[in-house]
Amino acid sequence: MRRPWRRGLAVLSVTALAVLGVSPQAVAADEPPTIVVTDGVTQPVFGYADAIRERLFVESTFDSDKDGLRDIIAFDVMRPKATEDGLKVPVVMDASPYYTTLCRGNDSECKIDVDGDGLLDQWPLWYDNYFVPRGYAVILLDMVGTGNSTGCPTTNAKEDNISAKQAINWLNGRATARNAAGEIVKADWHNGKSGMIGKSYDGSLAMSTAVTGVKGLTTIVPIGGPTEYYDYVRSNGVVTRGNSYVSYLANVVTNPDRREYCKPVRDAIGAADGDEHGDYTSFWNERSYVKKVPNQTASVLLYHGINDDNVRADHMSKYWYALAENDVPRKLWISQEGHVDPFDSRREVWVNTLHRWFDFWLQGIANGIMDEPRLDIERAADVWETHADWPIPGMAQTEIFLQPGTTGAGGLKLVPTAKPVTAGFQDHRTQSQNTMINNPDVVQPNRLAFLSEPLTAPLHVSGTPTMQIRAAADQADTNFGVILVDYGTDERVAHRASGEGIITLDTVDCWGLGSQHDDPCYRQTVKRVATADQELVTKGIMDAQNRISLRQSVPLVPGESYNFTWPLLPEDYVFKAGHRIGVILVASYPQYSSQADTTLANITVNLKSSKIILPVVGGTAAAHAAGL
């Protein structure tokens, strides 16, 4: 369906056969339909308007709403008409809880049945428009408890996590699907290979399906998706999203007319999520995909905004590290934006890359994509680099010690201070992030600031930094926070501004074929940039009572010193020559956490034993060359 705001807008043709209304190549009537490959990629030789559309229902293996009946998972299928004449095609699937609530994409497209025949007329996103003409089937699956599926959402518990597995099983002959008339429908047109793709929650569903090891799922493309749900609402024992946020999200994705019915399921979630302590429990283990990566066989094209403050970058890094440990075939894109889809960040290159990725893994086309560098990373707005891997090869964890300061900030050096020395500050429950990082040379009672000298050469960090301090508090509990800051003027992607780094324009471009009610045209974007004197590079927090284990809180003995170690969010950042590196140490961090500590503890830090460990490309030698 053409949205009203598009009337009168400029439509830009970006590739051959990409503009609505261009006819695909005809297939001779006396020849069997075949996939056509030119220059290493599939060509749009099949129709879109005449594609077969189905809505199917498969009985699941679970009962999320405890009504005594197994939940029914609904999904919409679009496939080339030629599949009726023997063409075998793979599947691209986007499983989502959002199709009938928040909808999908920067253009907020919903599933819409215009004529009431029970079949979709408007298909959200561009995958159907682009891939069906190229010899793919596209499935948009309604996660349990959403859209046309029965049951209730459980926010990444088992029922959510294996919703899409039901359709994969059907595609491979291991489950039964029926149409609205109750007739059994078989996927005799399927070539046995399926890929899953999706952003955010949809991305988590792709990963949760992959880590089951289900046969027939060949590849996944998760975009900014949670991989450890504990890390979505907690961080090292600190509640970052509280007040039963997990059950709140279950309510958001449930259709309004089913919210009251599903309230008991949400209440059970809220009672089990542990908001009162923030510890890791079996509730979170069920919502972890990283631990299950050893089961995974599907390859991964992973995309994440390094500055995503919704699904933070540790979701990407922990999953990526596990993929590497288990030698899963993989590629990674890291952008400078926040929670933004690559289609709205680097559109043409992303479409071409995704096309070649699916052609390789699902169509078996030898196009060389797996011989190319593993990492694409955006260094500045629309400035991309490729590298052999991530973290960047040559990275080494490098200790940088906190130094005392005579006035104002302390220092940062590659060696510890020669003599034991301490520095102190007091917790402040409502101290703002700006107060923490601004004016680092000014002594403030509620933080400690440490600054390097101006760098004499660029310093590149790539990976996950770690903070290690030896400290004592005068209370039985406190939180700790650390912020890594670049003090230096530069133009950067404005990822904290509206749009999270992009500006949406009124012009559109088109990707694929369309029909009367579904066009392939989407609003274009440009990067939003800003010049500032400093940049918050990354940050990390922990609950001091979880210093031994995330599973159990152990109170501090007031006045006794302990070693505390916690990770910052992963980063890939170049500090430029002339800039200064800043390390800011605080207690409560309200803009990162919904749970400020209530003790107002006075904290004493032993500087000789305290350091930040940075993943420096080139290691200690590079840090020394930069003047540390």
Nearest to 237 by CA among 557, 612, 547: 547
Query: 28: exposed, middle or buried (C-beta count within 10 Å: 0-12, 13-18, 19+)?
Result: exposed
Residue 81 near residue 199 (C-beta atoms within 8 A): no
The b-or-e profile of 346-361 (16+ CB within 10 A means b, else e) is bbeebbebbbbbbbbb
Catalytic residue status for 308? yes
Return the SS3 of 612: strand
Q: At what angle do helices 263-272 and 245-253 cross, to 10 degrees?
A: 160
Distances (CA, A) of 112 to 57, 109, 118, 177, 600: 18, 9, 10, 22, 53
Residues forming beta bridges with residue 605, ordered by sequence position: 423, 471
Catalytic hit among 128, 279, 308, 519:
308
Q: How far apart are CA 568 and CA 466, in angstroms?
A: 6
User: Residue 559: how many CB atoms within 10 A of its CB?
Assistant: 11
Catalytic hit among 304, 339, 355, 387:
339
Distances (CA, A) of 265 to 70, 256, 284, 398, 580: 15, 15, 16, 47, 51
Catalytic residue status for 63? no
Q: At what angle do helices 201-210 and 163-171 cross, to 10 degrees?
A: 60
The b-or-e profile of 593-623 (16+ CB within 10 A means b, else e) is bebbbebbbbbbbbbbbbbbbbbbbbeeebb
What kind and span of H or E run contains 202? helix 201-210
Q: With the C-alpha atoms ordered 307, 308, 311, 316, is the resulting torsion angle positive or negative?
A: negative
Return the SS3 of 348: helix
Catalytic hit among 200, 317, 345, 515:
200
At a CB cut-off of 8 Å and minimum separation 6, what does 41 contact? 134, 355, 356, 359, 365, 367
Tokens for 372? Answer: 């190319």
Tokens for 134? Answer: 């190229």
Catalytic residues: 200, 308, 339
